[in-house]
Structure 1
């Protein structure tokens, strides 16, 4: 099952604020709960966001910012990176519904119950769904879809360019062949004889069957 084991139990509506505040600060060597406090988020619910960042690939297990985190700091890619992290973290959910980011909370809860085989308490499923819904609300899905479409178009163009249409070359070749002037060289091995009449008869026969132009 590819579902995050980390989720928030409250302060879901503050998820956009967490991300926006991260954009105003330099990436730390280690993203810890203390760093969350330094950013101004001091409640226990706020600190749970650190593990959510690990789940979506912004931090490694040790809390070190990943390449995705640094790309996120470029505001032209910020919300796209969040969408990318969500799709990776909730891969099984998106396998069931490629538009899972558009699902309602109740729909997400139903899918989570299926994916966890009913092993989670209803309260836990609700926390997981609320975390997912609020993450999706911040991410820029339209940008991710446009980039994915462009990527597919580029792949198609490469495939088309790699196909060589060789119908023209044979056509030109055939036209050239039809315009050829053909010359024949005929080699005759004369018999060894002293009888002139033999040669006269031979050349007379050649003149008859191969007229000279």
Structure 2
């Protein structure tokens, strides 16, 4: 069953906490003290840490993960949150691909079926409320999902502008040079970059120094 047992006991500050996170630098660890620094010192707000773990924003020790850092980019934050919700509530979306459009009552009923009596009615109410509250700050539109995919995967044009277009080089990144009868090999470890200018500069330097 892919239903997180983490839930909020109060929903009124959820959107404000998410907004405050975007406006602050990612902490070394997401702690109660960090939440208080954002202006949320209520004991009810502390449950947000467990919810963020379920969304894969932070690990079990509270250390921000990649998704947390991506969320700080406000041009994609709503889509990042949507991706986290889909992962955390995978079974719910398996039952209804548009689970984010369901009412709190419908979500609760689906969760009750999925959990097979594992949670009390009160807990199910809080779990369903947590889900529908998070959904309000997320963007599940196809356009947002596609834009997010484009940000994380280089497109065909960028791949065409890679080192193979610039300079013949072996798949292993090795280049052979000769001085008189002496032959030596240079292994090139290409940096990870989606900017063609990085490769342009690299191979220009190689041509100048190695001929």
Q: TM-score range by the shorter chain?
A: 0.5 to 0.7
Q: Which has the higher strand share?
A: 2
Q: What are the residue-to-residue correspondences of 1:157-172 with 2, within 5 Å?
A: none
Structure 1 runs not aligned, ≥5 long: 152-156, 158-213
Report the equivalent of 2:80: 81
User: Highest Rg: 1 or 2?
Assistant: 1
Give the Cα–Cα distance (whole angstroms) in 2 for the partners of residues 85 and 32 of structure 1: 20
Give the Cα–Cα distance (whole angstroms) in 1 for the partners of residues 71 and 142 of structure 2: 14
Report the equivalent of 2:54: 55
What is the TM-score when the length of structure 2 is the normalising length?
0.68
Structure 1 segments (4+ residues) deviating >4 Å: 143-146, 148-151
Spell out, residue by residue over 1:31-90, the C-alpha distance to the aligned partner (whole angstroms, 9 max, x if none). 111100111101011111011111101001110000001110111111111000000000
Against the structure 1 CA distance between its residues 125 and 144, is the aligned structure 2 distance closer, same or farther, given a 3 Å change threshold?
Answer: farther
What is the TM-score when the length of structure 1 is the normalising length?
0.67
Deviation at 1:16, TM superposition (A): 1.0
Q: What are the residue-to-residue correspondences of 1:30-179 with 2, within 5 Å?
A: 30-142=29-141, 146-147=145-146
Does the CA-based 8 Å contact 2:79-2:145 persist in structure 1? Answer: no
Deviation at 1:119, TM superposition (A): 2.1
Instruction: Give the alignment's Cα RMSD to 1 decimal.
Output: 2.1
Aligned residues: 152
Structure 2 runs not aligned, ≥5 long: 151-155, 157-211
Against the structure 1 CA distance between its residues 146 and 51, is the aligned structure 2 distance closer, same or farther, given a 3 Å change threshold?
Answer: closer
